[in-house]
Structure 1
Amino acid sequence: MKKTDYFYLWIAVTSYMAGPVMYALTLYTFYRETDVITPSLIGWTAATFSSVGILFILVTVILLRVFKIYYFWLQTLLFELLFLVLVYMTTVLLGAGNTGLPMLSFPFTPEGIPLWMFWGSIALMSSWGIWTARQPIRKLPYMLASKVILILFILEIWLL
């Protein structure tokens, strides 16, 4: 593997870790809830990100490069919009059961906001990481942020 391949792997891993960290911070900030990260949340969302999320990212980056409209904010906006699909998928996978699909306004409900923060932070970190990989001069801020995310994730899991 090349050095850039390892960096993209680092982006994927730390981007995913941003999700549970932001989910826990959102639930604590708005609702004062603690111990919210569960093994089923980690399991279902990790599987969803490693399959559907990475596919969304790859397709988006390829299309933006093919059409030669590869801009950071456009990429981030597209990631955020596509990851809204994952907010709905998580709801179904974690137990919507027979109640059907959630309403379109679900991301704006008290139950949906933490999930939106979960997937939105993953989309933002992924976009920032991919953008940083293309600009090797500016890797230090991303590396610092990703290491902080890694430490917070480890602390959150350790306290689980």
Structure 2
Amino acid sequence: MGILSGNPQNEPMHYGEVFATWTYLFAEKGMISMYQTFVNHTGDDDLKKLLEEAIQGAKGETQQIEELLKANGVALPPSPPERPKANLEDIPAGARITDPEISGLLSMNVAKGLVACSTIMGQSIREDIGLLFGQFHVNKAQFGVKVLKLNKEKGWLVPPPLHMDTPNK
């Protein structure tokens, strides 16, 4: 048997897997903090529920990645502090992040997360890491549909110009 056969947990992580998972974890921890801040800024209950769902999903992912990295002797990135709850009315109007802005950033982060998960899946030679990020990818895709539906329902979706006319050839 070669070094890369048998139980994947007994295989060493290669440098790319370490860097990608560590970086993903670092970004995910930052997004938890950012989404906690967004909860304080949003006035829309539906958006607030999606943000809470995103926070819980990210916390679940960070826990799994931390376990993976610890088991492989990799130091964990720092975690930002939990954001305190704030009253929306206490945030000056000019300093507030608007609901459409929050939803747009949430959409962008879902898209970036899908790309990151796909990248890690593609570069992983350990099956357990590829499968872990495959599950994260599926969860993000399902969550992304919820965000898209909310954007459409609320009128927050700003589509690019639609290409309706094609030149005659």
The reply to whether TM is greater than 0.5 is no
> Which has more helix, going by share of residues?
1
Tell me the TM-score normalized by structure 1. 0.30
TM-score (norm 2): 0.29
Structure of greater relative contact order (alpha carbons < 8 Å, 6+ residues apart): 1
Bigger Rg over Cα: 2
